[in-house]
Amino acid sequence: MLGRSLREVSAALKQGQVTPTELCKKCLSLIKKTKYLNAYITVSEEVALKQAEESEKRYKQGQSLGDLDGIPVAVKDNFSTSGIETTCASNMLKGYIPPYNATVVQKLLDQGALLMGKTNLDEFAMGSGSTDGVFGPVKNPWSYSRQYRERRRHDELGDSHWLITGGSSGGSAAAVASFTCFAALGSDTGGSTRNPAAHCGLVGFKPSYGLVSRHGLIPLVNSMDVPGIFTRCVDDTAIVLGILAGHDPKDSTTVQDPIKPPMIPGVMDVSRLCIGIPKEYLVPELSSEIQSLWSRAADLFESEGAKVIEVSLPHTCYSIICYHVLCASEVASNMARFDGLQYGHRSGMDVSTEAMYAATRQEGFNDVVRGRILSGNFFLLKENYENYFVKAQKVRRLIVRDFKNAFASGVDVLLTPTTLREAVPYLEFIKEDNRTRSAQDDIFTQAVNMAGLPAVSVPVALSNQGLPIGLQLIGRAFCDQQLLTVAKWLEKQVQFPIIQLQDLMDDGSLVLENGNLTSASLT
Amino acid sequence: MAASVLRLVHPGRRWGLVWIGSGSRQRSGTQTVPTSNEARGQSSVAQLSPHTAQKPRKGEHKWAAVVGLEIHVQIASNSKLFSGAQVCFAAPPNSLVSFFDASLPGTLPAGYQITQQRLPIAANGHLTYSAYMGKKRSQMLTKTVRIKQIQLEQDSGKSLHDDLRSQTLIDLNRAGIGLLEVVLEPDLCCGEEAAIAVRELQMILQALGTSQANMAEGQLRVDANISVHHPGEPLGVRTEVKNLNSLRFMAKAIDYEIQRQITELENGGKILNETRSFDYKLGCTMPMRDKEEKQDYRFMPEPNLPPLVLYDATSLPADADSQQVVNIDQLRDMLPELPSTTREKLVQQYGMLPEHSFTLLNEVGLLEFFQSVIKETRAEPKKVTNWVLNTLLHYLKQQNLAVSESPVTPAALAELLDLLDSKAISSSAAKQVFEELWKAEGKTAAQIVSEQQLELMQDREALEQLCQATLDGHPQVVMDVKNRNPKAINKLIGLVRRASLSRADPSLIKEILEKKLSL
């Protein structure tokens, strides 16, 4: 049951094949069994069981709230959840219990979803590995998959060889990939949803900026943050997006226009589609395996009649630097509120109020956060503002224009890699610092955030090592439905294999009725 | 507690900027073109600043002072700028704080103060004010001060520092209240002029309903930038005197600071570009210890607030929803009457002197008092003006009372003026009645008149008898009259009045006497 898609399990609930409480308990038990993944910071067991009970009542009375009623979901721990600790994986917010729900959380709950818990991340979502949070790194479930382990030498199977999930929403990715929930919320500022989705073999969706409310999402970069969606298939993403999208008076940047829930047709004709391949995304660091999958995916579109053309996004190479300047600047101001006065950590230092502020922030933030605050404050100094912040804003405008030009030339969707390579072992990952890793890992993803476009990472194949590889599709602003439609088509063509975690499940709860074990058609 | 009130500045806390659509903003800012600039500039500065103690002594250069103001006005709204929390003076600490005001994580855009500093809602305006100024104070001058810009911003929270216990208490009631900051160019020259300009601005804001602008409640606070220089030379180094919250103290602080700078410079000292505060008890300014002052606020644009586009009739898109857009022209048509118009109307309608119209508006509530009296009395407007401005205001000032605290109500004064108008009492009796009314013993004017028998003698025959008796009793004065001594008749009138216990109408007495003396 847990291996099913959200849509399938929703149907099962409606038909009474399973009750919300049974489903909830199964997930809770699996969460316990996969505790070593460190996917969850907080497991909201009591809340979830109570929600399941209420959902069960509704089903019994034939008053189901819809597709999400009784569906276990998880939420990244940088979304405010009323009555449930929200930490951002930081000492600064340890013990902080918000009095309100983020709009997206509220929308899920209003639909009857069961909140299983809050998922792990890099501190304040600053990172690309989910390795830099105060609760420790998240382990990629694929480290323990049959597909990966079968291809390892025996000496590489030790406990220290586990892989990172990518980040910063690695906890949400691991939670969905290990079947402890059917959908999870992440956030995506520079790729934080798409990157771990690619590494964990999931669909990771970043909606258009302004489509989904950020109210209650603890901000990283206000002009780029969006709530992201993790599911195991595109249809499930469309269901969740249908619930989340829409104007929110508490987020002035959400669009006012009424939003229709996305309708993804079962059959799609791609022959009228024009797929753009941005030539600047072919970088030397790209693994040859991913490069070849990318080109085979392009061929796949072409073979079905789509027009596939090379396009140029000439300012791509400046994007990551520009992103870092803007990100640090916003971080510097967004983090100003954490002073130990009103909530969260407060240092015992009591020499003076100023000393208390300083000690609170020294103790509360990790090096990565403090580093970004420091550089952001540098960029915003009067004498530096023009040279850094304003220049970065100008470059951002050029990057936006690059995308506009590409779409204006007739391209419907851009096809790119999501990451440079598949997931690496933790010990390998931490050889470089957070900044270097972020610069490498966000390379294909952050430009989309700068332009506010919708993008989705679709798992397309397993690498030679048996690890998932995702490709990214980028759509026109607010053409999220079209993008998901194309994503679904690609998903259908590639037949990405389901993760084989049976070895680790002693009670066989993951026996997958519909398990598709064929290898990907792209490999 | 050793507490001084400071602005809440968190570590790293800075001011964000709001993007305001620039398309129509400039238009709205520059539509009003300054009309009378002639009074501005050095010559008028020198002319207008004699009462500050900068009169040149022999052999000394003359000093000129330059004063610019930043006026922070609390916007009169039911709720804060970006949150639904209530705005209310003197509420218990932290009782008016929403999640947003407390900048809980995830509330947008919270956690820093927001200002329109770089893209203000209006720019390049001017403020016109008039006052009696100059050496003789006989000449009413109309002057303008340029307004550099008007910007919206959020008020900060309030922190109380306890130095002894090194503790800080925070009250967030004020955090997030909408402020209007009016930045005046340095066109002013002395404390008095600054006070007049701020008073005019205050009245405009009150008339518009923008703010209650009550300085005592902190709804209008002024920071003054002050420097001195020799005319014809570059401006001097300026200091900023912060948080002036009464007009009187503001004028005092500015004049003190001007004098301090002159003295400092004349003694070979230097003026530091610093922030000072005014100690109203000692009547002097002193440097502030506030470390935050020199801080670089590290402004950046606020991405959470979409541009606010201001349209006018020409730029308004045809399909715009009138509920969703701001149309400057539409708002302009809805503007209430401004003080300058009110004053003009008073002069035209009631024939009062322009200076009287100023006084009526300057005293809080006096105009409303005046208008109530006018409405209820048959007396001539000139008489009402006279009584309100001379008698009532005199009594109020003597006892340091606000108009709202006057023991004499407009209705009571109106009744008194009616008695005077119908010649039921003499004007000296009226003064007596007013004094009784001031005691506020709950008696009406008519009651006082009847109790104290102050009504004029209406019985002509009795008055004629009184006149005759006086003539009979003072043959010498009668002789003087006959000898054409011009003062003698007045002496007789006075004697009759005294005999009537001031209840006789002098003009009637005069008429009877003249008849009897066959003049």
Q: How far is B178 from B175, CA to CA, in rounded Å?
A: 9
Find the catalytic residue in A33, A76, A206, A488.
A76
For the stretch A221-266, pLDDT in tens is 999 999 999 999 999 999 999 999 999 999 999 998 888 888 888 8
Residue B40: predicted pLDDT: 31
Q: Is B13's CB within 8 Å of A86's CB?
A: no
Give the pLDDT band of residue A522 (cuts 50, 70, 90).
Answer: low
Q: Specify whether the CB–CB gap between A449 and A474 falls below 8 A.
A: no
Q: Specify whether the CB–CB gap between A399 and A317 falls below 8 A.
A: no
Of A27-36, A205-214, B53-62, B220-229, where does mean pLDDT reach its minimum?
B53-62
Q: Is A448 exposed, middle or buried (0-12, 13-18, 19+ CB in 10 A)?
A: buried
Q: Which residues of B touch A99 (CB under 8 A)?
A: 99, 104
How many Cβ atoms from other residues are within 10 Å of residue A327's Cβ? 25
Q: How far is A317 from A390, CA to CA, in rounded Å?
A: 18
Helices A6-14 and A20-33: angle between axes, nearest 10 degrees: 140
Q: Is B106's CB within 8 Å of A335's CB?
A: no
Positive or negative: CA dihedral A385, A391, A392, A393: positive
DSSP conformation letters of B171-199: E-SSTT-EEEEEEE-S-B-SHHHHHHHHH
Q: Minimal Cα distance from A329: which residue of B?
A: B300
**Active-site annotation holds for A329:** no
Chain A, residues 328-387, CB within 8 A of chain B, namely 329-330, 332-337, 339, 341-343, 350-354, 357-358, 361, 373, 377, 380-382, 385
Q: Minimal Cα distance from A223: which residue of B?
A: B303
Confidence check: pLDDT of A519 > 70? no
Q: Is B10's CB within 8 Å of A329's CB?
A: no
Residue A266: predicted pLDDT: 82
Give the angle subtended at the CA of A193 by the CAs of A189 and A198, to the nearest 5°. 135
For the stretch A380-389, pLDDT in tens is 999 999 999 9
Q: Is A337's CB within 8 Å of B103's CB?
A: yes
Residue A251: predicted pLDDT: 95
Residue A341: predicted pLDDT: 83
Q: Which residues of A touch B102 (CB under 8 A)?
A: 342-343
Among the partner residues B10, B105, B110, nearest to A80 by beta-carbon distance: B105
Average pLDDT of A15-28?
A: 97
Question: Which H or E run contains B466?
Answer: helix B460-473
Beta pairing, strands B275-279 & B239-244: parallel
Give how far A337 is from chain B: nearest CA, Å: 5
- Six-digit token string for B432: 């007596």
Confidence check: pLDDT of A207 > 80? yes
Q: How far is A124 from A365, CA to CA, in rounded Å?
A: 9
Find the catalytic residue in A5, A168, A169, A172.
A168
Q: Which residues of B touch A79 (CB under 8 A)?
A: 106
Q: Which residues of B touch A341 (CB under 8 A)?
A: 10, 170
Q: What is the pLDDT along chain B (519 residues), one digit of tens a residue?
A: 222 222 232 333 333 333 222 222 222 222 222 233 333 332 222 233 334 444 445 445 689 999 999 999 999 999 999 999 999 888 999 999 999 998 899 998 888 888 888 888 899 999 999 877 656 666 778 899 999 999 999 988 888 877 777 777 888 998 899 999 999 999 999 999 999 999 999 999 999 999 999 999 889 999 999 999 999 999 999 999 999 999 999 999 999 999 999 999 999 999 999 999 999 899 999 998 655 456 788 888 888 988 888 899 899 888 888 777 889 999 999 999 999 999 999 999 999 988 899 889 988 899 999 999 999 999 999 999 999 999 999 999 999 999 999 999 999 999 999 999 988 888 888 999 999 999 978 889 989 988 888 888 778 888 889 899 998 999 888 888 888 888 888 888 888 888 887 788 888 888 898 888 877
- Six-digit token string for A466: 């048996």
Instruction: List beta partners, residue B68.
Output: B225
Owner of token pair 């209840």:
B503
How many Cβ atoms from other residues are within 10 Å of residue A211's Cβ? 22
Among the partner residues A218, A358, A380, nearest to B106 by beta-carbon distance: A218
Find the catalytic residue in A90, A145, A192, A457.
A192
**Active-site annotation holds for A333:** no
Give the pLDDT band of residue A354 (cuts 50, 70, 90).
Answer: confident
Q: Minimal Cα distance from B102: which residue of A?
A: A342
Q: Is A332's CB within 8 Å of B12's CB?
A: yes
Q: Is B300's CB within 8 Å of A389's CB?
A: yes
Q: Is A329's CB within 8 Å of B105's CB?
A: no
Q: Which residues of B touch A330 (CB under 8 A)?
A: 300, 303
Work out the mean pLDDT of chain A and round it to a whole number: 93
In this structure, what are the phi and psi dihedrals at residue A407, rounded to the nearest 5 degrees? -70, -35
Length of chain B, please?
519
Owner of token pair 């007013």:
B434
Give the pLDDT band of residue A80 (cuts 50, 70, 90).
Answer: very high
Residue B363: predicted pLDDT: 87
Owner of token pair 């397993």:
A462
SS3 A154: helix
Q: Is A36 exposed, middle or buried (0-12, 13-18, 19+ CB in 10 A)?
A: exposed
CA nearest neighbour of B128 among B359, B337, B362, B340: B340
Confidence check: pLDDT of A200 > 70? yes
3-state secondary structure A197-265: HHHCCCEEEECCCCCECCCCECCCCCCCCEEEEEECCHHHHHHHHHHHECCECCECCCCCCCCCCCCCC
Q: What percent of chain A clears pLDDT 70, i.e. is strictly above it?
A: 96
Among the partner residues A98, A253, A329, nearest to B304 by beta-carbon distance: A253
Owner of token pair 């008489």:
B383
Cα Rg, chain A, nearest whole Å: 22
Chain A, residues 228-257, CB within 8 A of chain B, namely 250-253
Q: What percent of chain A clears pLDDT 90, i.e. is strictly above it?
A: 86
Q: How far is A114 from A171, CA to CA, in rounded Å?
A: 17
**Active-site annotation holds for A192:** yes
Question: Which H or E run contains B151?
Answer: strand B139-154
**Chain-centroid distance, C-alpha B438:** 25
SS3 B277: strand
Name the DSSP letter for residue A266: S
Chain A, residues 459-518, CB within 8 A of chain B, namely none
ipTM reported for the complex, 2 dp: 0.89
Give how far A105 is from chain B: nearest CA, Å: 12
Q: Is A61 on the interface with B (CB under 8 A)?
A: no
Among the partner residues B103, B105, B298, nearest to A332 by beta-carbon distance: B298
Instruction: List beta partners, residue A297.
Output: none
Q: Which residues of B touch A352 (CB under 8 A)?
A: 166
Among the partner residues A99, A334, A377, nearest to B99 by beta-carbon distance: A99
Name the region of B103 (left: φ>0; alpha: ψ -120 to 50; beta: rest).
Answer: left
Q: Is B359 exposed, middle or buried (0-12, 13-18, 19+ CB in 10 A)?
A: middle
Q: Specify whether the CB–CB gap between B379 and B388 falls below 8 A.
A: no
Give the pLDDT band of residue A403 (cuts 50, 70, 90).
Answer: very high
Between A467 and A340, the higher pLDDT residue: A467
SS3 A178: coil
